[in-house]
């Protein structure tokens, strides 16, 4: 007589039920992971936009503070664009600011003429010209033309750029921007005290 052992394996229905529950759990985990990745990507894009916009404001503030600077005060009051009444010039539309300052480059004294304005593609344009301090100053009539974009449309679209010098030597710069990636918006109000007027 043979003694049969009772089999303790899983029945087919139990196996199918375990597979179905495992599949559902795996789909839930994959969905949570994908949602987390999307959130992380969106936060990363927002942080990149905020960082780029903040850095742009810092650049403008730091460069504008130098307006009118004269090395050792030799040319104090004359370091500016030709025909500009002040060291900082703003056009009538208040969307272009031009300024100049002296600096040394390898021991040679030079003057840097700069202007910032927004073009038709909502990019901030920086125009710079460096020349000897003894050269004829650049005429203010050509301040708001030429230059290179210092913002990229794929990252920042400037929606507003207004410069006010009514309380000179305090220069107020108001900027608004929108992210083309996620549509978020940000504003900056810079109050820059020109140190060398």
The verdict on residue 77 lying in a domain is: yes
pLDDT at 70: 84
Contacts of 42 (CB under 8 A, 6+ apart): 182
The verdict on residue 121 lying in a domain is: yes
The verdict on residue 25 lying in a domain is: no
pLDDT at 9: 67
The verdict on residue 65 lying in a domain is: yes
The verdict on residue 155 lying in a domain is: yes
The residue range of the domain holding 81 is 45-193
pLDDT per residue of the chain (197 residues) written in tens, 0 to 9: 666 666 676 788 888 898 999 999 999 999 999 999 999 988 888 898 999 999 999 999 999 998 988 887 777 778 888 888 888 999 988 999 999 999 888 888 888 999 999 998 889 999 998 888 778 778 888 888 889 999 988 888 999 999 999 998 899 999 999 998 888 899 999 999 887 76
pLDDT at 56: 94
The verdict on residue 8 lying in a domain is: no
Distances (CA, A) of 18 to 11, 21, 32, 176: 11, 5, 21, 56
Rg of the chain (C-alpha set): 30
pLDDT at 197: 62
pLDDT at 189: 93
pLDDT at 175: 95
Domain count, the chain: 1
Please tell me the distance from the alpha carbon of residue 65 to that of residue 87, in angstroms, as a whole number: 11
pLDDT at 24: 93
Please tell me the distance from the alpha carbon of residue 141 to that of residue 82, in angstroms, as a whole number: 9
Contact 108, 85 (CB under 8 A): no
pLDDT at 181: 84
The verdict on residue 73 lying in a domain is: yes
The verdict on residue 148 lying in a domain is: yes
């Amino acid at each position: 007589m043979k003694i049969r052992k009772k089999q303790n394996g899983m029945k087919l229905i139990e196996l199918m039920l375990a597979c179905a529950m495992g599949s559902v759990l795996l789909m839930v985990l994959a969905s949570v992971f994908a949602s987390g990745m999307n959130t992380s990507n969106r936060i990363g894009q927002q942080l990149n936009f905020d960082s780029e916009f903040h850095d742009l404001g810092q650049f403008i503030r730091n460069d504008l503070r130098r307006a009118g600077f004269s090395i050792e005060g030799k040319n104090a009051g004359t370091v500016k664009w030709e025909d500009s009444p002040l060291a900082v010039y703003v056009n009538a539309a208040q969307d272009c600011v031009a300024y100049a300052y002296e600096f040394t480059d390898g021991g040679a004294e030079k003057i840097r003429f700069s202007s910032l304005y927004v073009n038709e593609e909502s990019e901030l344009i920086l125009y710079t010209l460096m020349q000897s301090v003894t050269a004829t100053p650049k005429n203010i009539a050509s301040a708001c033309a030429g230059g290179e974009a210092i913002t990229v449309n794929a990252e920042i679209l400037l929606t507003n750029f207004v410069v006010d010098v009514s309380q000179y030597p305090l220069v107020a710069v108001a900027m608004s921007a929108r992210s083309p990636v996620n549509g978020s918006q940000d504003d900056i109000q810079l109050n820059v005290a020109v140190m060398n007027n």
